[in-house]
Amino acid sequence: MSGAVSLESIGEGLTRTRGAAVDVAFRMRGSGPAVVLLHGTSANHAVWEPVGDLLEGEATVIALDQRGHGRSDKPETGYTGDDFVTDVVTVLDALGLGQALVAGHSLGGRNAWLAASRHPDRVSGAVVVDYTPFVEAAVLDELDVRVAAGFREFADQAEIEAYLRDRYTRILPGAVERRARWGYRQQDDGRWVPRASPIAMSQLIEGFRTPYRDEFLAVPMRMTHLRGRLSSIVSESSWRSAMLDRPDDRWVDVEEADHYIPEEFPERVAEEIGRALRS
């Protein structure tokens, strides 16, 4: 596949694969060892911008729009963990990169440990932000309802930002602006709708019900995990169960954060990714 996949600039600082089974958009900057950043459900590459700002002096930072999101392809099916991992490898191949550290938030965190398990020759390390194999079914049920409610029309960017501030109460003001700018598109009638695909969101949340615990256990390198102490996704019980599975990993509680740590404490996340890079 790598020989058939090329790259094209699509403007606004983004590059996109061309010729893959599913083409993926991403932003790349900086120099040094490669770090792939994977966002969470219904988000996009831009949620990582402050983290990328902090890392680009020591790493080549590659922030993806995962399939079903942003400017990447949105197939009707294909949203299992392994489908997302395939896209990471596709981007690495297209860039001619042998290895990368993979860091991900929520959905992206699950995909990070799965990539490390499936492709230990291509993934040099994994940083998992606020996700574990033990997230409870009731939490996923609530997530499904909450994400589905976001698929609506908006009159303008101001209305989008008001909605986002209400939904993500702790993210920084700049994070609200980035989500509004990058996460929505204007229709022919002038109204705005999310770029993420509702079909994709429904399927990938259903995919969370496969815990990938065996793959979590099989990751051969020491991983780093971060959890927001106020997280609505990773309960204390889920966190403790994951720690028991992998006691030699690095486990970091972020006391004042909820689930959206990269958009609340980007310095803390960048610090942990940098630590993982140097180790």
Write out pLDDT tens, residues 71-94: 999 999 999 999 999 999 999 999
Query: In the chain, which ranges are continuous DSSP H helix?
Result: 49-55, 81-95, 107-118, 137-149, 157-167, 173-182, 198-207, 213-218, 236-245, 261-264, 266-278
Listing DSSP states for 197-257 in one string gives -HHHHHHHHHHTTS--HHHHHH--S--EEEEETT-SSS-HHHHHHHHHH-TTSEEEEETT-
Q: Which residues are catalytic?
A: 106, 130, 259
* Ranges of each domain in the chain: 6-134+211-278
Tokens of 44: 């996009």
- Domain 6-134+211-278 fold is Rossmann fold (3.40.50)
Q: What is the residue-averaged pLDDT of the chain?
A: 97
Distance between CA atoms of residues 138 and 95, nearest Å:
40
Q: Is the pLDDT of residue 175 over 80?
A: yes
pLDDT tens digit sequence for 202-230 = 999 999 999 999 999 999 999 999 999 99
Average pLDDT over residues 192-209: 98
Contact 260, 171 (CB under 8 A): yes
Residue 1: which pLDDT band, with cuts at 50, 70 and 90? very low
Mean pLDDT calculated for residue range 224-248: 98
**Model confidence at 56, in pLDDT bands (50, 70, 90)?**
very high
Give the residue carrying structure tokens 């993934």.
123
pTM for the full model?
Answer: 0.98
Q: What is the pLDDT of residue 4?
A: 83
The mean per-residue pLDDT over the stretch 45-54 comes to 98
Q: State phi, psi for 164 to the nearest 5 degrees.
A: -65, -40
Residue 53 has pLDDT above 70, yes or no: yes
Query: CA-to-CA distance for 43 and 58, rounded, in angstroms?
Result: 25
Q: What is the mean pLDDT of residues 163-177?
A: 97
